[in-house]
Amino acid sequence: MQYFWLNNKEENKKLIVFFNGWAMNETPIQHLECDDYNVLVIYDYRDFNFDFSEFNLKKYLKKYLIAWSMGVCACNLFYDILNNFDKKIAINGTTKIVDDNLGIPCKIYKATQKFLNEANCDKFIKNMFDNGNLNHGVTITRPIEELRDEMSAIQNISFDKQIEFDKAIISEDDRIIPTKNQLHFWRNKTEISYIHSTHCPFENYSSFKELICQTKT
């Protein structure tokens, strides 16, 4: 796993840990105002080595987890740390990342992994948005082999305990992780909020505070 700070100011006493989606960098969320939140973005799930101890989490008065897409699965490896956060939000993801009823259908996942190339990556990006034609400035910059390895690793991920999310935000037209599969997974587990969007819903928000405090419909 790798990380970068979208915002990191010594005076800020509120922290957001954002678990990113597969193959993603900062472009889906870089427009969001951070305000007085420090925002730590975690990505690259080829391996699951990450040491939270290098960050002084105790200095923060409030801590929030936002996990998107594959990040909803990956963050569970850090249950003992993240489950104690003040609020935990899952966005368009489940912990069953490859599953015909609860995640990405197995046939689609395997085909994507087998035939992954630059053209298919471009198609994936476009399918995250409304019309399938625009990428809204979101790009994939990592090598294809890295992305294929990431898919293999996340497919085989296992953990003993699952984070108790306070809310699951589900887009009504998700073309990556089917909306109905997300609903099946989250029903009776947590509060569900629907948003009129696709797999990448962040254009519906202007700030991380708005994302934490309310759900647009």
Q: What does the alpha-carbon distance between residue 56 and residue 126 come to, in Å, rounded to a whole number?
A: 38
Q: What is the pLDDT of residue 25?
A: 87
Nearest C-alpha neighbor of 17 from the set 117, 95, 98, 88: 88
Question: Which domains are delineated in the chain?
Answer: 2-213 (3.40.50.1820)
Residues 6+ apart with CB under 8 A from 125: 135, 138, 139, 140
**CA dist 151 → 70, 116, 123, 148 (Å):** 9, 10, 17, 5
Q: What is the pLDDT of residue 139?
A: 77
Q: What is the pLDDT of residue 129?
A: 83
- pLDDT tens for each residue of 102-158: 999 999 999 999 999 988 888 888 888 865 555 667 878 889 999 999 999 999 998
With contact defined as beta carbons under 8 Å apart, do 157 and 183 qualify? no
Q: What is the pLDDT of residue 46?
A: 95
With contact defined as beta carbons under 8 Å apart, do 84 and 161 qualify? no
Q: What is the DSSP string of 73-136?
A: HHGGGGHHHHTTSSEEEEES--S-SB-TTTSB-HHHHHHHHHT--HHHHHHHHHHTSSSSS--T
Nearest C-alpha neighbor of 207 from the set 2, 5, 6, 63: 6
Q: What is the pLDDT of residue 217?
A: 37
**CA dist 139 → 24, 87, 102, 121, 128 (Å):** 8, 29, 27, 9, 11
With contact defined as beta carbons under 8 Å apart, do 175 and 128 qualify? yes
Q: What is the pLDDT of residue 213?
A: 85
Q: How many other C-beta atoms are found inside a 10 Å radius of the C-beta of residue 134?
A: 11
> Could you state, in chain order, the average pLDDT of each consecutive group of 10 residues for the chain (217 residues)?
96 98 92 97 95 94 98 97 97 96 96 91 84 67 92 92 97 95 96 94 94 66
